[in-house]
Amino acid sequence: MIAMQQTADPILDIRGLRTIFRIRGGEVTAVNGIDLAVAAGETLALVGESGSGKSVTSLSVMRLLTRNIGAIAAGSIRLKRKSGTVADLVLLDEHDMRKVRGDDIGMVFQEPMSSLNPVFTIGDQISEPIRIHRGADRKAAMNAAIALLESVGIPDAKRRAGQYPHELSGGMRQRATIAMALACDPALLIADEPTTALDVTIQAQILDLLLKLQRERGMAMLFVTHNLGVVAEIAHRVAVMYAGRIVEQGPVGEVFRNPKHPYTIGLLASMPRLGDATRMKLAGEKLAAIPGMVPSLMKMPQGCAFQPRCKFAIDACRAAVPPLEDVNPQHKSRCIRWREI
């Protein structure tokens, strides 16, 4: 676990973000009033089950929501750009937002085969943002792309730059998408489940690579994942999401050692540990699991969204949505019973 104090001057500062989707003649809220901040050189992990709102948060920052279906309904997303100016991404028109994507913000997606274009070579795709944002000619941009492939650990980079995505292994494709995201040296990198589609050995290599590149470049990183083991390895702080809201947030070490929300406690208890299989088989035990499922956005429960699955729930939990309270100045929990549990 990596220790780091958050600075007062974040690269990314999200306040009151509310993202909606228009479906069946109505609206559902996928992200509901969240606050997040990430400083230069810091990694904030956004954690939760599928359907919690993690990826919608990252797509909201990039303004890549499906047109006429998804929309930012409220809040601000303030980004400190490489020029030193601060822009509210919610207020930018599409023309100005294109200048931000790929230059001030880079993004690594979960599945490289769906984020890389199958009809263009790897070198062409990495060199494109360099030509667009830096005005480099084709030869200079291609040389820069080859250098980027070398920096992310791809051997024989010049030959690989001339290949198509299907000619590379899964690990190499993900390294290539990282190179493309870092092509213009962004101030912020968003990594949305970047290791989920890879085997365990390649996952570890990609995580090590991201840590190395972040140290070298000093960029801020928003790391979206459902894997708490990954969080422990790569992040300074963690924000736990459930049903569109942040339910716990704080330094990784403190949240892991002293969780103050029943959902976080359940996630940590669900993690298998070395030796558990043998011990549990001998004892006749089963791996701990959180009962039930993340609620549908169309049928949210009253009060605390987690209360139908929570063993600590009382009547007061059903009365109103609990506030995000300070456990201490750096650690917050959205649970009215956090002092007891």
- Give residue-wise pLDDT tens across range 180-205: 999 999 999 999 988 876 788 888 88
Strongest mean pLDDT among 210-219, 220-229, 263-272, 330-339? 330-339
In a domain, 7, yes or no: no
Together in a domain, 274 and 130: no
- 205 lies in a domain? yes
Residues 37 and 167 reside in one and the same domain: yes
User: What pLDDT score was predicted for residue 281?
Assistant: 63
Number of domains in the chain: 2
Range of the domain at 269: 256-333
Asked whether residue 128 falls in the same domain as residue 269, the answer is no
For the segment 40-65, the average pLDDT, to the nearest whole number, is: 95
SS3 248: strand
Per-residue pLDDT of 87-128, as tens digits, reads 999 999 999 999 999 999 999 988 888 889 999 999 999 999
Question: Hey, which bits of the chain come out as E strands?
Answer: 12-23, 26-38, 43-47, 70-80, 86-88, 105-108, 188-192, 220-225, 237-242, 245-251, 325-328, 331-333
Q: Is residue 282 pLDDT above 70, yes or no?
A: no
Same domain, 60 and 25: yes
**CA pair distance 145, 127, nearest whole angstrom:** 5
CATH number at residue 166: 3.40.50.300
- Its pTM stands at 0.91
Q: What is the pLDDT of residue 280?
A: 60
